[in-house]
């Protein structure tokens, strides 16, 4: 017998759909088996902001599907949903590019993405499909945000971000290429200070760090998580501007015993008070240096294998 993937895979995919083979039942459902241990497998939902999936999507989904099917075969009650991270500027920019309202392009793209994912034969419970543009879904994200706000965990702050003037959106460091261009459109990225909402996850830093040990992850991944949290123990002290005692900079060090050997103090180009330390004589050279720094990624500016640079502001602080 010859294996015909177009025929055989379609046959079983239709069978899975019709018989809801991968449906996960809830307590109270007649089919629910309370003797089965629960297991949750969650994929990262794709952004339906393009013409279809790319090769990176099934790579990760295949790995998780192997795990989901393995646990189901071992007798677990497996919850394996799929959905669409459909809000945001990527969807809006795609709509602008195509000249169509984002609601129309998003719904069309979701149907294409869903058809493509189904053709790959993954074991998703499609009755639990999530669409972040569904009011019944996002009313709860709004509710969560309001709770964070009520408890002082959500607030506004002026912060520098990687900004793509072409995509008109902020980018994570990982989305900025080595030449400081946008990985989406190729345009040069710039550093821009914007008013934005911030979540005070730092208030949970110690709890996050402690609970890393509870994760059933490879030790190398857990160490990456610890480094991301970045807990450091040391001292913080203030240094006053020599000609203005009311103007101070805050300094943090893990070696307070070495401060007596300080020969200079450094401010980052995006420090909130940098302009107050630049004298008129040094203004031109400092402004040029700050402008050039905006064209560099954070990784480039902080790389250990590169020579550190700087220019004199014209000011002094008292140690």
Residue 202: which CATH number? 2.170.220
Output the pLDDT for position 5.
Answer: 87
Task: Judge whether 240 and 248 are in contact, CB under 8 Å.
Answer: yes
Strand partners, 199: 154
- Residue 246, pLDDT > 80, answer yes
What's the whole-number mean pLDDT along residues 164-184? 85
Residue 58 lies in a domain: yes
User: For residue 223, what are its two tokens?
Assistant: 């160490």
pLDDT grade for 294, boundaries at 50, 70 and 90: confident
- Residue 96, pLDDT > 90, answer no
Output the pLDDT for position 129.
Answer: 96
Spatial distance between the Cα atoms of 305 and 295, rounded to a whole number of angstroms: 19
Residue 235 lies in a domain: no
144 in the same domain as 73? no
User: For residue 280, what are its two tokens?
Assistant: 């008129």
Residue 57 lies in a domain: yes
- Residue 194, pLDDT > 90, answer no
264 in the same domain as 314? yes
Longest dimension (CA), the chain: 90
As for how many domains the chain has, the answer is 3
pLDDT grade for 116, boundaries at 50, 70 and 90: very high
pLDDT grade for 93, boundaries at 50, 70 and 90: confident
pLDDT grade for 170, boundaries at 50, 70 and 90: confident
| Measured torsion, CA atoms of residues 153, 155, 160, 164, in degrees rounded to the nearest 10 | 100
Domain span holding position 186 = 137-229
Output the pLDDT for position 60.
Answer: 93
User: For residue 314, what are its two tokens?
Assistant: 């014209």
121 in the same domain as 19? yes
Instruction: Report the percentage of the chain scoring pLDDT > 70.
Output: 99
- Residue 33, pLDDT > 90, answer yes
161 in the same domain as 254? no
Residue 237 lies in a domain: no
According to the 3-state scheme, what is the secondary structure of 147-185? Answer: HHHHCCCEEEEEEEEEEECCCCEEECHHHECCCCEECCC
Looking up tokens 């241990």 gives 37
Residue 256 lies in a domain: yes
100 in the same domain as 10? yes
* Average pLDDT value over all residues in the chain: 91
More confident residue, 185 or 221: 221
- Residue 98, pLDDT > 90, answer no
What's the whole-number mean pLDDT along residues 82-106? 85
Tell me 233's DSSP state. -
By DSSP bridging, strand 130-131 and strand 83-84 are parallel
Long-range contacts of 200-209 (CB under 8 A, 24+ apart): 200/152, 200/153, 200/154, 200/155, 203/153, 205/229, 205/231, 206/231
118 in the same domain as 34? yes
How many other C-beta atoms can be found within 10 angstroms of the C-beta atom of residue 290? 18
- Poorest-pLDDT segment among 81-90, 111-120, 167-176, 207-216: 167-176
What pTM was estimated for this model as a whole?
0.72
What's the whole-number mean pLDDT along residues 212-227? 93
Nearest C-alpha neighbor of 238 from the set 228, 225, 251, 247? 251
Strand partners, 79: 40
247 in the same domain as 307? yes
Residue 165 lies in a domain: yes
Start-to-end CA distance of the chain, whole Å, equals 84
Q: 141-157 pLDDT, tens per residue?
A: 999 999 999 999 999 99
What's the whole-number mean pLDDT along residues 34-61? 91
More confident residue, 288 or 168: 288
- Residue 250, pLDDT > 90, answer yes
116 in the same domain as 21? yes
What's the whole-number mean pLDDT along residues 279-290? 95
80 in the same domain as 14? yes
Residue 10 lies in a domain: yes
What's the whole-number mean pLDDT along residues 255-272? 91
What's the whole-number mean pLDDT along residues 65-72? 97
Task: Judge whether 203 and 153 are in contact, CB under 8 Å.
Answer: yes
């Amino acid at each position: 017998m010859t294996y015909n993937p177009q025929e055989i895979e379609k046959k079983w995919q239709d069978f899975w759909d019709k018989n809801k083979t991968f449906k996960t039942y809830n307590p109270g459902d007649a089919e629910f088996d309370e003797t089965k241990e629960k297991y949750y497998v969650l994929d990262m939902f794709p952004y339906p902001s393009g013409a279809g999936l790319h090769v990176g999507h099934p790579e990760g989904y295949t790995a998780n599907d192997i795990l989901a099917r393995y646990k189901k075969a071992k007798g677990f009650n497996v919850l394996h949903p799929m959905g669409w991270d459909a809000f945001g500027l990527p969807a809006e920019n795609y709509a602008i590019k195509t000249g169509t309202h984002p609601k129309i392009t998003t719904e069309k793209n979701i149907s294409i993405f869903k058809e493509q994912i189904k053709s790959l034969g993954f074991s998703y419970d499609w009755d639990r499909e999530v669409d972040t543009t569904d009011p019944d879904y996002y009313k709860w994200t709004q509710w969560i945000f309001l709770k964070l706000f009520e408890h002082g965990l959500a607030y506004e702050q002026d912060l520098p971000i990687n900004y793509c003037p072409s995509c008109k959106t902020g980018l994570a460091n990982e989305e900025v290429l080595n030449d400081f261009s946008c990985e989406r459109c190729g345009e040069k990225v710039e550093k821009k200070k914007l008013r934005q909402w911030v979540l005070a996850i730092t208030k949970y830093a110690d709890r996050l760090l402690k609970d890393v040990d509870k994760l059933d992850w490879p030790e190398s991944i857990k160490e990456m998580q610890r480094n991301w949290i970045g807990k450091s123990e040391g001292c913080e002290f203030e240094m006053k501007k020599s000609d203005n005692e009311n103007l101070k900079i805050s300094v943090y060090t893990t070696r307070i015993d070495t401060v007596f050997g300080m020969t200079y103090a450094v401010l980052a180009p995006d420090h909130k008070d940098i302009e107050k330390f630049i004298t008129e004589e040094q203004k031109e050279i400092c402004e040029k240096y700050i402008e050039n720094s905006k064209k560099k990624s954070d990784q480039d500016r902080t790389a250990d294998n590169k020579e550190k640079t700087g220019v004199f502001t014209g000011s002094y602080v008292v140690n």
